[in-house]
Amino acid sequence: MAGTIVIKKPKRTLADQSYVVEITKGLGVTLKHFFKNFGQMVTGTRPDVTKFNYEDGVATLQYPEEKKPYPRRFRGVHRLTKRSNGEARCTACLMCSTACPAQCIFIKPGEYPEGHPSRGHERYAVEFVIDELRCIFCGFCVEACPVDAIRMDTGIHMTALDNRADFIFDKEKLMSFPSQDGDFETSNTRVEPGDKAHHGITREQGH
Amino acid sequence: METGATFWIASAVKVIAIVLGLVNLGALLLWVERRQSAMIQDRMGPNRANLQIGGLNIRAAGLLHSAADGIKMLWKEDFTPPGADKFLYHLAPVISLVPPLCLFAVIPFGPSVYWANRAQVFGSEAWNTTTGFIPLQIAMPDSGILVVFALASSGVLGAALAGSSSDNKFSLMGGLRAASQMVSYEVTMGFSVVGAFMVYQTVRLEQMVQWQVDHAWGIFTQPLAFLLFFTAAVAETKRVPFDAPEGESEIVAGYFTEYQPMKMGMFALGELVEVMTSSALLTTIFLGGWQFPFLKLDGFHLEMFGVAKPILMSHLTVVVISAITFALKVAILALLQMQIRWTLPRFRYDQIMKLGWRILLPLSLGNILVTGIVLLFING
């Protein structure tokens, strides 16, 4: 028939048929792996599995002792950022709790006392509670926040705790976590009364 | 050989040492298998069994996993299937564990220890008729390797009984496969050693070793027989690539599907002990037994390498070196069997039968024929 391509079936040689040669080759492969990995285990020179690499070797990650670092933008446990005077940056606008699809954020807003520089143009959170069991770690609260008060850049993987009450993180607890870099303030400080970078004009003084 | 009280005490010590040694080495082999397979497959292997003494955590590189397995097996529920034949069901694991242990009785694991007649014995032919020595071998029957074959072939009973008595179709399939496979390879095993008998002119294992010490190792005089016997021995242990009787992907776990805790452990242990006994047999018949190359009964003789004087050693040193040599040879062969287990995939059932009956058996018969012709020419 025209156009028919006849593919010749490869013939098995006596060496293939007798298994012995092929088995020896296979043993060579496994022995090579065995001796290489065994040597690396004994001398403690196996490739670092916590880093991305393509080296041959034992690829098992001994989890609690060895951990792969999370990427910079990993969404970990929330933190409430602070102003330079140590107060929470949160202005209790309720944007995050509104945006939260799991409805795990509870905020009780309050007015600043008489004479406080911020009184009259913003509020503060008397209570700020996140139920970490309900949270789905979507990051909507971080995106909703207009004042960069809530962040998920702690790099802390939420672990299992002993009872449910421990999962309810209050304001103090949320303010106690530093970011991956170890600071409590936001890195892009907003210009607000009391901040170092404040330009000196407040809303009370008028524009 | 020594008689009377010395004989009984020496025998008791040897029996206890061999049985305890084999069972514990079986557990060690389990660890070796797990960690070795892990190293082959770029894994870590089990290493987390932890013994906490005070504030000290002892892991011993995963050695404790075997102990943990033993404890787990002892405490698990021992369930007997209602439809099972109770007597045979409970007998089967015993039958599959005891023969490989007994088989070690006729294997010499070191040269005889002499304390009298030493001058007579050295260089004389009467080395096993004199008194005043203890052989490092539990029993020295005249039938020798025939005892080995009798015991090895009774191992098939364990698998077959387990398969038929546990009232499960998968078990029955596994038992049938095990029985047919083991019987088939028993034939090759027997025929492949016949060539060795013809060369050594004896069936007694200690005399086989002596012949190899005096002349040459069996692997050089009978290379094909070594290969055939090795293959058949691997098939006898029912391990990969000959593990069709277990065949997880086809028949659950084969003949021990219905066995739960310690009885399953006995099957597994019996398998590992079989690995060791088959390695010991191979060492004895083909690898010169306990002989360290160039080590004679009074020390090293290295005339071949230009060392004129022999390096003399005490008798006890030679015995210890020889016994360690035997253990090393067995260990190397056992490790090789492990390596093969993690290198090759499982043979299909018809391939196993074809390999056994149409390749190995004719080859072993041809080996007998060629050995006979060569011996006829040499001996005139």
Is B42 part of the contact surface with chain A (CB cutoff 8 Å)?
yes
Is B343 part of the contact surface with chain A (CB cutoff 8 Å)?
yes
ipTM of the complex: 0.78
Binary contact (A33, B343; C-beta < 8 A): no
Q: Which residues of A touch B342 (CB under 8 A)?
A: 30
Interface of A with B (CB under 8 A): 20, 23, 26-27, 29-31, 33-34, 37-38, 41, 56-60, 62
Binary contact (A57, B340; C-beta < 8 A): no
> Mind listing the pLDDT tens digit for each residue in B325-343?
888 999 999 888 888 888 8
Amino acid residing at B107 = I
Taking each helix axis from N to C terminus, what angle separates B223-236 and B169-200, rounded to the nearest 10 degrees? Answer: 160
A72: β partners: none
Residues of A137-176 as b/e, b for ≥16 C-beta within 10 angstroms? eeebbbebbebbbbbbbbbbebeeeeeeeebebebebbbe
Are A96 and A105 contacting, i.e. CB atoms less than 8 angstroms apart? Answer: yes
Residue A23 has its nearest CB partner, among B36, B39, B344, at B344
> Mind listing the pLDDT tens digit for each residue in B167-201?
888 888 888 888 888 888 888 888 888 888 888 88
Binary contact (A30, B339; C-beta < 8 A): yes
Q: Considering chain B, what is the average pLDDT of its residues?
A: 83
Which secondary-structure segment (H or E) carries A108? strand A105-111
Is B43 part of the contact surface with chain A (CB cutoff 8 Å)?
yes
Binary contact (B40, A33; C-beta < 8 A): yes
Optimal mutation site among B35, B37, B42, B338, interface A, most CBs of chain A within 10 A? B42
> Mind listing the pLDDT tens digit for each residue in B26-59?
888 888 888 888 888 888 888 888 888 877 888 8
pLDDT beyond 60 at B139: yes
Domain ranges of chain A: 12-66, 79-186
Q: How many A-B residue pairs are in contact by the CB < 8 A criterion? A: 40
Strand, coil or helix: what is B57? Answer: strand
> Mind listing the pLDDT tens digit for each residue in B204-219?
888 888 888 878 888 8
Q: How many percent of chain B have pLDDT more than 70?
A: 90
Residue B39 has its nearest CB partner, among A38, A56, A62, at A38
> Mind listing the pLDDT tens digit for each residue in B272-326?
888 888 898 899 888 888 888 777 766 677 666 666 677 677 777 778 888 888 8
Assigned fold of A79-186: Alpha-Beta Plaits (3.30.70)
Q: What is the pLDDT of residue B379?
A: 82
Are A139 and A100 contacting, i.e. CB atoms less than 8 angstroms apart? Answer: no
Region B245-249: mean pLDDT is 79
Q: Which residues of B touch A21 (CB under 8 A)?
A: none
Region B124-134: mean pLDDT is 56
Chain A residue with the nearest C-alpha to that of B42: A58
Lowest mean pLDDT among A191-205, B139-153, B213-227: A191-205
Binary contact (B39, A37; C-beta < 8 A): yes
pTM given for the model: 0.77
Binary contact (A27, B340; C-beta < 8 A): yes
Region B355-373: mean pLDDT is 90
Q: Distance from A50 to chain B by nearest Cα, in Å?
A: 15
> Mind listing the pLDDT tens digit for each residue in A170-205?
999 999 988 887 888 775 555 555 555 555 665 555
Is B36 part of the contact surface with chain A (CB cutoff 8 Å)?
yes
Are B254 and B177 contacting, i.e. CB atoms less than 8 angstroms apart? Answer: yes
B56: β partners: B53
Question: Checking phi first, is residue B21 left (phi over 0); if not, alpha (psi -120 to 50) or beta?
Answer: alpha
Amino acid residing at A158 = M
Q: What is the pLDDT of residue B369?
A: 92
Q: What is the pLDDT of residue A207?
A: 47
Are B132 and B115 contacting, i.e. CB atoms less than 8 angstroms apart? Answer: yes
